[in-house]
Amino acid sequence: MKKILIMNGPNLCLLGTREPGIYGSETLDDICRRLELEAKELGAELGFFTSNCEGELIDALHAARGVYDSVVFNAGAYTHYSYAIRDAISAIGIPVIEVHMSNVAAREEFRHTSVISAVCRGTVCGFGSYSYSMALRAAAEIL
């Protein structure tokens, strides 16, 4: 059975109340519960890790080695400037799928740059919480 880690970075713990016009009204718990159901159908086992702290996210990426087959990761704003997270993704040798709920290319200019895309296996963005579902499916079926 494939093991997939669902990781969320800064401010994603506020989903449900955070800018609902952009991110919708589902909480992160709602999304994770749905992903659990989808994972069962796909025959995959999930782990979850959420943190607002860059170092904790890096530690979780390191700890994923030898435990998970792949990682589905919404790095939040760290996406746009954290070379430390980019280096961690590159270092662990596990495929990571970059996820964004919003279409970052259609938003402020600083969101147009992702310093992690080049070291991720692929990116899903712009489909709200379904971005996670699409990434999960890819992780379970392709990676």
Positions that interact with ligand DQA (CB under 6 A):
11, 74, 76-77, 79, 100-102, 104, 111
- CB of 88 or CB of 104, closer to ligand DQA: 104
- Active-site option among 78, 81, 83, 100: 100
Closest separation in Å from C-beta 39 to ligand DQA: 20
Residue 130 among the catalytic residues: no
| Smallest gap from residue 100 Cβ to ligand DQA (A) | 4
Residue tagged active-site, from 23, 68, 78, 132: 23
23 is catalytic: yes
DSSP letter assigned to residue 30? H
Vertex 49, ends 121 and 31: CA angle to 5°?
85
Nearer to ligand DQA, 104 or 140 (CB): 104
| 3-state class (DSSP) for residue 110 | helix
Q: Among residues 111 and 137, whose Cβ is nearest to ligand DQA?
A: 111
Report in angstroms how near the CB of residue 108 gets to ligand DQA at its nearest: 8
- 28 residue type, one letter: L
Q: Give min distance, CB of 105 to ligand DQA, in A.
A: 10
Whichever of 50 and 74 has its CB closer to ligand DQA, that residue is: 74
Residue 136 · residue 35 · CB < 8 Å: yes
Angstrom distance (rounded) from CA 41 to CA 63: 26
Q: How far apart are CA 108 and CA 77, in angstroms?
A: 12
Query: Cα 20 to chain center, whole Å?
Result: 19
Rounded to 5 degrees, φ, ψ at 13 are -65, -15
Q: Which positions are catalytic?
A: 23, 100
